[in-house]
Amino acid sequence: MSGTIKVLNVAEKPSVAKSVSGILSRNQGLRVRDGRSRYNKIFEFNYSIRGQPCHMLFTSVTGHLMELEFEDRFRKWHSCDPGDLYHAPVRKFVPEDKLDIKRTLEEEARRCQWLVLWLDCDREGENIAFEVIEVCRAVNRHLTIRRARFSALIEREIHHATQNLIDPNQWFSDAVDARQASNFPYCG
């Protein structure tokens, strides 16, 4: 596969990964294998993006990959003054029930040159996209990262989205992080 770019594609849910893979591959040469999570399969097929031959690996997350929480010293009742929470550090982490999805992303991202995000085209989807980016970039900082914008799982729209990839929007993602942080319970 000399000259072929390996592309890791990540959808917001398994059904979207399966549908988009079927559309792009036209179910020709489509191979399916298990990821570390039994619900998040990996679909493989060849495709061309703007004339560039690509080997597509398509998998998914199941909504948000990460959660936010305060450091331990701020998480117990009466452990702090509620006003301290405005300046308390918050950490974003992958919870135990999503670790298999994280491991699949890490394994596949190590072998790829591109990461294409197929998440819902709203702020929440953009935030999930940046969670996926964080996990994948931690193991492969050289990834070229793009975003597919689509509103329906129909052939014309999916092919158009693939040929017209865009950059992800950090501002939309940050808006969701700010909203999530403002919904934290006070001192635990």
pLDDT in tens, 147-160: 999 999 999 999 99
CA angle 9, 14, 20 (to 5 degrees): 55
Half-sphere exposure of 72 (CA within 13 A, CB side): 0
**pLDDT band of 75, cuts 50, 70, 90:** low
Residue ranges and CATH numbers for the domains of the chain are 5-63+96-172 (3.40.50.140)
Q: Is the model's pLDDT at 186 over the cut of 70?
A: no
Q: Is the model's pLDDT at 121 over the cut of 80?
A: no
The mean per-residue pLDDT over the stretch 9-18 comes to 96
Tell me the whole-structure pTM to 2 decimals: 0.81
CB neighbours of residue 155 within 10 Å: 12
Q: Is the model's pLDDT at 183 over the cut of 90?
A: no
The first and second tokens of residue 61, run together, are: 């997350």
Q: Is the model's pLDDT at 174 over the cut of 50?
A: no
